[in-house]
Structure 1
Amino acid sequence: MWLAAGVIAVLAVLVAAPLAGLVARTLDSDADGVWADVFSSPLSANLLWQPLTNSLLMGLGTGIGATVLGAFLAWVVVLSDVPGRRVIGVLAAVPFALPSFAIALAWESVFRNDRLGGTPGLLSALGVAVPDVLSWGAVPTVLVLTAHYYSLSFVIVSAALWGVGGDLVAAAELTGASRLRVATRIVLPAIAPALLSGFLLAFAEGVSNFAVPALLGLPVRFQTLSTRLYGAIATGDAARGYALSIVLVVVAGMVLWAGNRATRGRSFETITGKASRPRRVVTGAWRWPLFCTASLLVAVTAIVPGIVLVVSTVLRRTNSFSGGFTWHYWLGESDSSIAQGMRGVLRDPVVLSALQNTVLLGLAVAVGAGLLGLLGAYVVRRIVRPPLVGATIGFLSYVPFLIPGVAFGAAFIALFGAPIGPLPSLYGTFAILVLAGVAASVPFAFQTSRAALGQVSGELEEAAVLTGASGPRRFGRITAPLVSRGVLGGGVLVFVTMVRDLSLVVLLVTPATPLLATMTYRFASEGFTQHANAITVVIATISVVATIFARRLSDARPTGSTS
């Protein structure tokens, strides 16, 4: 039980305490009247209600768009006879591996107009009049978020479609049912829970995303809850920022609660004892139009943003081919005639320090979250007896999933931003970044480890008990090696998330602890487009390589049997 108590204590410090501190900071004497200011003062319209409306609009648009695109591509890959399905399936999973601000920066490089001054995008440079509605505000934000998050719906719906056996479809066709009737009466009801889950997950991500509305919305004062709370805390109005953080947590929690309630008990049983592969639809004359449509979608969202970003980093003049090409923004020394004398990113010591910090942060969080998730899952599956202990660990391990990154960062500032007894303030240190990253990554690490442990028979440890092996020895010699592949795969994905995440760290980073993601945001905000895009290419490369490694790891055959 000492291990269970230790896991609960760590989760309490990393999860429960920051949230409690967040609430406490809005109720102390220094924050008197903050809730009235947020909800019912003359400031509340601009402080809460308009940003909340915009956030819900972002979530709804992202949820609908991501679900439609993801479901269409899932149908093409799983149930159609369209050529190139495997390649389309691989590319459809790429956008989520990219940072959301990478797609936003690519969009800006193409569609930015001259409304706000500065260098316009490629279309404007070619003489195309780009309307404001495509350059700034709600429309480009929703489109970019959709392009980033449709991969979630694609993965979820694809898994559901693989479970729709061909025997069900064949039986319906034998009764004379048309293809439309089969689709609406059998396939759609069977995957309805997956569609709803994909929608709600994309909705929650769209509501809480910070990077995209900050880059495409803030320049025209299009505020969401995440950008508003960031602005409040960054300008010293911490109490109101903390209150907005709590509102954002509640909104995200309500969305996920609604999703769990709506999908509970709704799954149709389509997998029987007799194996049955999905029945592919013969698309006939629509085969090549569907191929072109699907290929265009994945190309525009997975390939074109990368090409745009890479090309933009070697243009001497921002978003213009007229000035020729240069490697200065990658390798150049200081030159007063280019980018106000800034060096290339690979020669800038601050950028190189940020690269080192980013990789170290990703590794530290992956190791910390992986270890905590493994120990928590081990306690729940192998040790714990009182149901309350297991429920407590499961609950604390799930709660961070409900908290948007910006709100989580605010919670850690509220708790660790000031000295606690003999402990100094952690704000501005690398330690607070690691602690926040581990806390935010616990849900995924815990679920990954729990799934891996579920594949290891308890009889192995029972046999070791008969030989007199102690608990730590059984864990280190038997359990840990057998689950290492699954835990390592989960750790790689945690690493990817930390490398590309901006929302969690944007409030926690200081000049003493630079990270690539925050440097990208700063350069983009200050108009250094080539530098911002070059750093984004570095982040995207690290993320995609690590994601491919994780996929190969998960596809590899286990080296031994656990039966």
Structure 2
Amino acid sequence: MRENAGPVSWRYWIKVHASDPTALLALGLLVVFVYLIAAPILLLLGDAFQVHFADQARTGQAQGSFTTYYFERALFSPIAQDIFWEPLVNTATIAFGAILVSLVVGAPLGWLLSRTDLPGKRWYSTALIVPYMLPSWTFALAWSTLFRNRTTGGTPSWMESLGFAPPDWLAYGQLPITLILALHYTPFVILLFGNALRQFDSQLEDSARIMGAGRLHIARRIILPLMLPSLVSACTLIFAKCLGDFGVAYILGVPVGYDVLATSLFRAISTSQAGMSAVLAGTIVLLGVISVVIDMRLLRQATRFQTIGSKGSMNRVSPLGKWKPIASAWVLVVFLVSAVIPLLALVLTTVMHRPGVFTLENFTLDYWIGTGLGTTALRQGILLTPEFWRATTNTLWIVGSAALGAGLLGLLVGIAVVRSPIRIVGVALRQITFLPYLVPGIAFAAAYLSMFAVPRGPLPALYGTSIILVLAILADQMPFASRAGISAMMQLGKDPEDAARNVGAGWLKRLTAIVIPIQKGALVSGVLLPFISGIKGLSLVVVLAVPGTDLLTTYAIRLVDYGYTQASNAVVLMICVIAFVGTVGVQKLTKSNLSDGLGGK
């Protein structure tokens, strides 16, 4: 019996896994994502501790030797202040400033949209999210168009055309970067805080008031503790996003020497300082991980404040009364400042020879469809420029391929995590696909550059090819795609698959005929959401794209570098149209709405 036990068990094992290869699928996906996600990050962190070829003479050590040279250079050398400490302080100052402004602006808006009789609540609930639908650096370009001064040259700003020379502190640096990021991420506060307020039971306030508690006491002891989880989540999300935001600081900071960690990292990569790039990227990753861990810990502690609603719970709408006109005006002003004015400035700039001059002869369509413009790198309007259409084609197929791959893999991850009989593999797969969420885009790009800039085993060097962009975008979007797949599969029982198995359907047939049709909505979300994010993303691709593989985002930034303001704004508007239409399309296909949860009519 013992002699036959081995062959029998192996034949049984093969038969079982041929009919249900979920365990094999989980193991295969784990290997794939270790290679695409974990390996680049670990390799990048390892680059901070080994001597690189260009630094052998400086360190006096052989290439590949263990070293602390790059940490010493970043933290204690004469240039440490410029390349590390000052960018770190600037990054922290901007992030905390953006959080403060977002809370001041977003919390009242969340309350107005969720707990009052504000006119047009449902429309505003969607309209106020528009800034987040668009690339953050869109508004940096708009700010530059309105407030740029002679410090960096180029075409005059609107303010200059109107006879006002903006001071440097208004045109560049900390103030505009902070305000732009704050307005861009204020929707986080509106959505999270507004949803929490909507679920808050008004009877708790009534009970406290009956017991003699004043408004301040109720706010401090009841409302604030219950709202704390949503506010903490919004703050940590904004902090993590500000860490890796590259475009805004690049447009409004770099021209005047104002660096953050993201732009300092970009400069290190551009000058082939692999060791310093690893130190800077590792710092960004560490700060991102710390922010998410703090968020998770605080939310876990905040569960002691949770309440359980019932049929008797109430979400009372507070009448604004005489304050209704003032509240409506405030909401309208925020919408105009955060969305309408910036976009209008960009649109008008693209049809003006001289920005801010409203005379008939100053208006033109040259930057869209003109010919013979007389500029060095742009002889025609963007709609007649081959480079623009090449960038558009690259964007659609590169981002589209990555999004499709992320959506399909996300669904497979969901199947593997929920159905895998090997629990530890499912848990590992869930965690590793979430890892890119902890790594800001530009740091993840640095990891991919470290991994694929040179041949790795059978793979040739991928830098300069479209493949590295597809892989990087796919891996970067896996946290969203995998969570969509896992959530969908957790809601799908085994009965439909068991019934198909009983009539002889194989695993692949069950997948294509049952699972995918049932989970069509999750698959659509897993494809379209990464597509929209990839379309407007800059921090990830700016490091990996070259002129031959330009996307619309990197093409627009190159035009900014050339000083072609009108043309770059035109390209950005095209990106905005694609991102906005895509966002609305996702809502239609998934039958969701950005205002869901905030209520109102």
TM-score by length of 1: 0.95
The change in CA–CA distance for 1:176 and 1:548 in structure 2 (over 3 A counts) is farther
CA contact (8 A) 2:51 2:275 kept: no
Q: Does 1:314 align with 2:354?
A: no
Instruction: Give how far 1:14 is off.
Output: 0.7
Q: Does 1:486 align with 2:536?
A: no
**Greater mean alpha carbon deviation, residues 471-480 or residues 223-232:** 471-480
Name 2:333's counterpart in structure 1: 296
* 2:532 maps to which of 496, 502, 514: 496
Name 1:357's counterpart in structure 2: 394
**Inter-partner Cα distance in structure 2 for 1:184 and 1:287:** 25
Q: Does 1:69 align with 2:105?
A: yes
SS in structure 2 at match of 1:29? coil
Q: Does 1:377 align with 2:414?
A: yes
SS in structure 2 at match of 1:316? coil
Instruction: Give how far 1:549 is off.
Output: 1.0
Instruction: Give how far 1:202 is off.
Output: 0.3
Name 1:424's counterpart in structure 2: 460
SS in structure 1 at match of 2:30? helix
RMSD, aligned CA: 1.9
Name 2:506's counterpart in structure 1: 470
Q: Deviations over 1:164-221 (max 9, x none)?
A: 1333344444445455444433332212100011011101111221000010001110
The change in CA–CA distance for 1:219 and 1:556 in structure 2 (over 3 A counts) is closer
**Inter-partner Cα distance in structure 2 for 1:64 and 1:277:** 30
SS in structure 1 at match of 2:388? helix
SS in structure 1 at match of 2:519? helix
**Inter-partner Cα distance in structure 2 for 1:462 and 1:69:** 52
Q: Deviations over 1:271-303 (max 9, x none)?
A: 423264521112222111111101110221122
**Greater mean alpha carbon deviation, residues 146-155 or residues 469-478:** 469-478
Name 1:244's counterpart in structure 2: 280
SS in structure 2 at match of 1:305? helix
CA contact (8 A) 1:55 1:208 kept: no
Percentage identity across aligned positions?
Answer: 35
- AA in 1 matched with 2:368: W
Q: Does 1:11 align with 2:47?
A: no
CA contact (8 A) 2:131 2:184 kept: yes
Instruction: Give how far 1:37 is off.
Output: 1.0
Q: Deviations over 1:214-261 (max 9, x none)?
A: 100011100011000101111222221122111111111111111111
Instruction: Give how far 1:306 is off.
Output: 1.5
Name 1:388's counterpart in structure 2: 424
Name 1:324's counterpart in structure 2: 362
CA contact (8 A) 1:119 1:319 kept: no
Instruction: Give how far 1:154 is off.
Output: 1.6
CA contact (8 A) 1:111 1:123 kept: yes
Name 2:311's counterpart in structure 1: 274
CA contact (8 A) 2:139 2:342 kept: yes
**Inter-partner Cα distance in structure 2 for 1:67 and 1:475:** 45
Instruction: Give how far 1:330 is off.
Output: 0.5
- AA in 2 matched with 1:184: R
The change in CA–CA distance for 1:179 and 1:298 in structure 2 (over 3 A counts) is farther
- AA in 2 matched with 1:388: I
Q: Does 1:534 align with 2:556?
A: no
Instruction: Give how far 1:62 is off.
Output: 1.4
Name 2:324's counterpart in structure 1: 287
Q: Does 1:255 align with 2:291?
A: yes
Instruction: Give how far 1:269 is off.
Output: 2.7
Q: Does 1:512 align with 2:548?
A: yes
Count matched residues. 555
Instruction: Give how far 1:313 is off.
Output: 0.5
**Inter-partner Cα distance in structure 2 for 1:469 and 1:55:** 56
Name 1:546's counterpart in structure 2: 582
Whichever of the two has the greater Rg, that structure is 2
Q: Deviations over 1:142-183 (max 9, x none)?
A: 000011111122222222122113333444444454554444
* 1:131 maps to which of 159, 162, 167: 167
CA contact (8 A) 2:106 2:187 kept: yes
Instruction: Give how far 1:67 is off.
Output: 2.7
Name 2:442's counterpart in structure 1: 406
The change in CA–CA distance for 1:556 and 1:69 in structure 2 (over 3 A counts) is closer
Q: Deviations over 1:341-367 (max 9, x none)?
A: 521111100111001111112211111
Name 1:344's counterpart in structure 2: 381
**Inter-partner Cα distance in structure 2 for 1:174 and 1:85:** 30
- AA in 2 matched with 1:545: V
CA contact (8 A) 1:162 1:277 kept: no
CA contact (8 A) 2:128 2:335 kept: yes
CA contact (8 A) 2:524 2:590 kept: no
**Inter-partner Cα distance in structure 1 for 2:445 and 2:357:** 38
CA contact (8 A) 2:410 2:526 kept: no
CA contact (8 A) 1:78 1:158 kept: yes
The change in CA–CA distance for 1:459 and 1:179 in structure 2 (over 3 A counts) is farther
CA contact (8 A) 1:317 1:324 kept: yes
Q: Deviations over 1:22-54 (max 9, x none)?
A: 123333332552222112222211111111111
CA contact (8 A) 1:8 1:393 kept: yes
**Inter-partner Cα distance in structure 1 for 2:377 and 2:357:** 18
The change in CA–CA distance for 1:84 and 1:174 in structure 2 (over 3 A counts) is farther
The change in CA–CA distance for 1:468 and 1:174 in structure 2 (over 3 A counts) is farther
Name 1:335's counterpart in structure 2: 373
Instruction: Give how far 1:340 is off.
Output: 6.9
**Inter-partner Cα distance in structure 2 for 1:361 and 1:173:** 58
CA contact (8 A) 2:161 2:355 kept: no
CA contact (8 A) 1:452 1:487 kept: no
**Inter-partner Cα distance in structure 2 for 1:269 and 1:464:** 42
The change in CA–CA distance for 1:68 and 1:478 in structure 2 (over 3 A counts) is farther
Q: Deviations over 1:472-505 (max 9, x none)?
A: 2222222211111122123211111101100000
CA contact (8 A) 1:78 1:278 kept: no
CA contact (8 A) 1:63 1:206 kept: no
After superposition, residues 151-162 of structure 1 pair within 5 angstroms as 151-162=187-198
- AA in 2 matched with 1:393: L
Which segments of 5 or more consecutive residues in structure 2 lack a partner in the other structure? 1-22, 56-66, 594-601
- AA in 2 matched with 1:351: F
Query: Which ranges of 4 or more aligned residues in structure 1 deviate by more than 6 Å?
Result: none
CA contact (8 A) 1:318 1:529 kept: no
**Inter-partner Cα distance in structure 1 for 2:146 and 2:308:** 46
- AA in 1 matched with 2:306: E
After superposition, residues 82-161 of structure 1 pair within 5 angstroms as 82-161=118-197
The change in CA–CA distance for 1:452 and 1:439 in structure 2 (over 3 A counts) is same
CA contact (8 A) 1:163 1:271 kept: no
**Inter-partner Cα distance in structure 1 for 2:152 and 2:137:** 19
Name 1:38's counterpart in structure 2: 74
Name 2:11's counterpart in structure 1: none
CA contact (8 A) 2:147 2:166 kept: yes
**Inter-partner Cα distance in structure 1 for 2:250 and 2:465:** 25
- AA in 1 matched with 2:522: G
**Inter-partner Cα distance in structure 1 for 2:285 and 2:348:** 39
- AA in 1 matched with 2:237: L
**Greater mean alpha carbon deviation, residues 535-544 or residues 282-291:** 282-291
The change in CA–CA distance for 1:551 and 1:181 in structure 2 (over 3 A counts) is farther
Instruction: Give how far 1:115 is off.
Output: 2.5
